Amino acid sequence: MFTNQDFNIFKAPTLSERMTLIQQQIDPKFEEFAQRALPILNQDGQTWYAHVAKHLRRTVYPPDNTWVAFAPNKRGYKMVPHFELGLWEDCLYLYLSFLENLKSDAQQQARWTERLSNQKSAFLALPETFVISPDHMEPAVLALNATNFETTVTQFGQKKHTEFSVGVRIEKGDARFGTPALDDALCDALKQLQTVYERIQAEQE
């Protein structure tokens, strides 16, 4: 599905050139992945939807990354926990994300922080190759360990403009690009993250 050549889209210097490449080359692959991801996600009894990034607010600078998000909400995804598959110039990533949009007020912020904290063991039981992303709009990640988990979740609870994402990051040049092994790895990661998602959702019931 995804190949190492896909990263070349970020070499396009202008907004129009890069957007053309994203729409012609990357978005169809996001839609293709959705055909595999949605049946997996729909097994939880909800109806999930794919939201491919359109970058409509950009008028001058080309996007540094692009993505498709999966959420049980047809109208949007930022206001609920969701899964996000995206591409930076040096990696492909798949995260379970909790963005600042969840924290509409102090009460909601406290509730989501508690839910994340309660599932510490579930997060830390994920494979050691999984990482924490403290900001889905920045490529930097942290190792998934107890210290980084506690630090990031604490910040999520104390500061409005903070977020928490966990998942896999597959570096450009990985031998799995261009092979079925990459698709299988993404679906496997999605299933593992879905298990954590379902435990968090169960706390709301």
Tens of pLDDT along 143-152? 999 999 999 9
Q: How many CA atoms lie within 13 A of 148 on its CB side?
A: 16
Residue type, 148: N
Q: In this prediction, what percent of the chain has a pLDDT beyond 90?
A: 89
Domains recognised in the chain with CATH numbers? 4-202 (3.30.930.20)
Which tokens sit at 8? 């070349």
E strand segments, 27-90: 49-52, 66-71, 82-87
| pLDDT higher than 70, residue 26 | yes
Task: Specify the residue for token string 């993404």.
Answer: 186
Tens of pLDDT along 43-69? 999 999 999 999 988 889 999 999 999
Count CB-CB contacts under 10 A for residue 40.
Answer: 15
Which tokens sit at 49? 């939807």
Asked whether 191 and 168 are in contact (CB, 8 A), the reply is no
Asked whether 10 and 92 are in contact (CB, 8 A), the reply is no
Tens of pLDDT along 88-97? 999 999 999 9
Chain mean pLDDT for the chain:
95
Sign of CA dihedral 156, 150, 169, 46: negative
Parallel, antiparallel or unpaired: strands 131-133 and 164-171: antiparallel
pLDDT of residue 205: 58
**Strand, helix or coil for residue 93:** strand
Asked whether 51 and 69 are in contact (CB, 8 A), the reply is yes
Which tokens sit at 156? 């999520």
The pTM score is: 0.95
